[in-house]
């Protein structure tokens, strides 16, 4: 495949949200690597898929559509995982959309393929800039060296797995900080696969800025153990901690393992007085997380998540862990404001 041209209004996925509008889009038939701005086609005999647009809205890709997305990696504990094959994506070959944000690669093993964003697409080529260079999201990452650390307190949100209420907990912390008069709170989704919808929730509830890995040049923080990941985390933290803010709320994707280990090492080197909220699926998971964090010198301040969904579960979690457990959706009592009761336990 030699390449081609696309209209300026071609559909674009949210992993490319920092790429400025391009009036004349040209792509060429070269191998696609992580973060490259690439053109894909959903075959005409395929079912429609749903992806996330740069605005954060869900957008349909219809059979026959050509759209822009990026090669990338994903390692999900509860959803599809995949990677970029050695040597990159080959023009004309077929791959799979792995995430709402438009990460494309080869599925790993028997990953579930029943998500609405998952679809088999044909790789057409990489988009090139005015000077013939292949466009990559790294070229549009946050610029400027980090300034002095302004010593804002850090509220760290961790989970025992995906889908246990980490974002709910993070928003609860944010709301309390705002109610206490802290007008400048920043949010960072530090690890996982990027999604505008997730960081937009923090903006909806008053964060003055919200960042994720796309802002620092990657569509996701996978694969685990990749070279340079610590440098990426250090850059993201140093940038956020240099901004004028009353507090920084940091959410880590997935569970305590994987890329979060490297991130926690970077964060601990910059803050020894972290305030940690753990979202856990059950009491045993919470207890295991407490022990794992203790081994690296971190202590949980508050537990939330499904392990607090009933009085019995909440009491069992508190008894096993010796840490306050609060349901941040309902609060300890049905009439209690969830965000007030939840963060009252934080020092």
Tens digit of each residue's pLDDT (9 = 90 or more) over 283-342: 999 999 999 999 999 999 999 999 999 999 999 999 999 999 999 886 434 333 443 434
pLDDT digits (tens, 9 = 90+) for 59-80: 999 999 999 999 999 988 778 8
Q: Residue 347's pLDDT is what?
A: 47
Q: Residue 334's pLDDT is what?
A: 36
pLDDT digits (tens, 9 = 90+) for 9-54: 999 999 999 999 999 999 999 999 999 999 999 999 999 999 999 9
Largest CA distance in the chain: 65
Q: Residue 345's pLDDT is what?
A: 45
Does the pLDDT at position 265 exceed 70?
Answer: yes
Q: Residue 293's pLDDT is what?
A: 94
Q: What is the DSSP string of 108-125?
A: PTT----STT--EEEEEE
* Interatomic CA distance for residues 296 and 298, integer angstroms: 6
Per-chain mean pLDDT for the chain: 91
Q: Residue 298's pLDDT is what?
A: 93
**179 vs 333, which has greater pLDDT?**
179
Task: Tokens for 325, please give them.
Answer: 């457990």
* Interatomic CA distance for residues 306 and 136, integer angstroms: 39
Query: What Cα–Cα distance (Å) separates residue 92 from each residue in 29, 95, 113, 123?
Result: 8, 10, 22, 5
Phi, psi of 91 (to 5 degrees): -55, 135
- The pTM score is 0.92
Q: Residue 257's pLDDT is what?
A: 79
Q: Which of 48-52, 108-112, 252-256, 317-321 has the lowest mean pLDDT?
A: 108-112
Per DSSP, what are the bridge partners of residue 89? 32
Q: Residue 76's pLDDT is what?
A: 84
Q: Residue 256's pLDDT is what?
A: 85
Please say whether the beta carbons of 150 and 245 come within 8 A. yes
* Interatomic CA distance for residues 214 and 203, integer angstroms: 16
Q: Residue 1's pLDDT is what?
A: 65
Residues 229-241: what's their mean pLDDT?
A: 92
Does the pLDDT at position 241 exceed 80?
Answer: yes
* Interatomic CA distance for residues 259 and 168, integer angstroms: 21
Domains of the chain listed by start with CATH number: 3-140 (no CATH), 154-343 (3.40.50.300)
Query: What Cα–Cα distance (Å) separates residue 41 from each residue in 10, 93, 115?
Result: 11, 11, 18
Residues 179-183: what's their mean pLDDT?
A: 91
Residue 144: which pLDDT band, with cuts at 50, 70 and 90?
A: low
* Interatomic CA distance for residues 13 and 22, integer angstroms: 14
* Interatomic CA distance for residues 206 and 204, integer angstroms: 6
Does the pLDDT at position 261 exceed 60?
Answer: yes
Give CA 77 to chain center in angstroms: 14
- Tokens 């393992």 belong to 257
Task: Tokens for 312, please give them.
Answer: 């019995």
Please say whether the beta carbons of 136 and 35 come within 8 A. yes
Task: List Cβ neighbours of 49 (8 Å cut-off, separation of 6 or more).
Answer: 42, 60, 61, 97, 116, 117, 118, 119
* Interatomic CA distance for residues 68 and 285, integer angstroms: 39
Please say whether the beta carbons of 62 and 16 come within 8 A. no
């Amino acid at each position: 495949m030699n390449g081609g041209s696309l209209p300026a209004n071609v559909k674009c996925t949210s992993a490319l949200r920092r790429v400025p509008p391009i009036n004349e889009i040209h792509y060429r038939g070269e191998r696609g690597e992580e973060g490259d701005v690439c053109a894909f086609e959903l075959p005409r005999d395929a079912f429609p898929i749903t992806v996330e647009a740069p605005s954060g809205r869900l957008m349909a890709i219809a059979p026959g559509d050509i759209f822009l997305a990026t090669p990338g990696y994903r390692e999900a504990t509860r959803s599809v995982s995949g990677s970029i094959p050695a040597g990159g994506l080959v023009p004309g070959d077929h791959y799979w959309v792995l995430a709402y944000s438009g990460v494309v690669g080869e599925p790993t093993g028997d990953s579930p393929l029943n998500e609405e964003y998952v679809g088999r697409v044909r790789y057409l080529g990489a988009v090139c800039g005015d000077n013939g260079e292949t466009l990559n999201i790294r070229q549009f990452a946050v610029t400027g060296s980090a300034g002095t650390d302004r010593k804002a307190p850090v509220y760290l949100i961790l989970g025992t797995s995906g889908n246990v209420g980490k974002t709910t907990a993070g928003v609860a912390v944010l709301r309390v900080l705002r109610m206490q008069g802290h007008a400048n709170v920043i949010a960072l989704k530090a690890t996982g696969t990027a999604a505008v919808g997730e960081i937009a929730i923090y903006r909806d509830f008053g964060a003055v800025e919200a960042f994720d890995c796309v802002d620092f040049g990657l569509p996701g923080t996978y694969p685990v153990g990749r070279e340079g990941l610590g440098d990426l985390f250090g850059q993201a933290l140093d940038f956020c901690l240099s901004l004028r803010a009353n507090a920084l709320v940091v959410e880590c994707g997935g569970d305590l393992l994987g890329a979060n280990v490297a991130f926690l090492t970077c964060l601990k080197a910059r803050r020894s007085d972290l305030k940690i909220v753990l979202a856990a699926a059950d009491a045993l998971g919470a207890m295991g997380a407490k022990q794992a964090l203790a081994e690296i010198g971190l202590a949980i301040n508050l537990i939330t998540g499904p392990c607090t969904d009933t009085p019995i579960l909440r009491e069992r979690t508190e008894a096993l862990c010796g840490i306050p457990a609060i349901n941040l959706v309902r609060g300890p009592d049905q009439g209690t404001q969830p965000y007030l009761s939840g963060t009252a336990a934080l020092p």
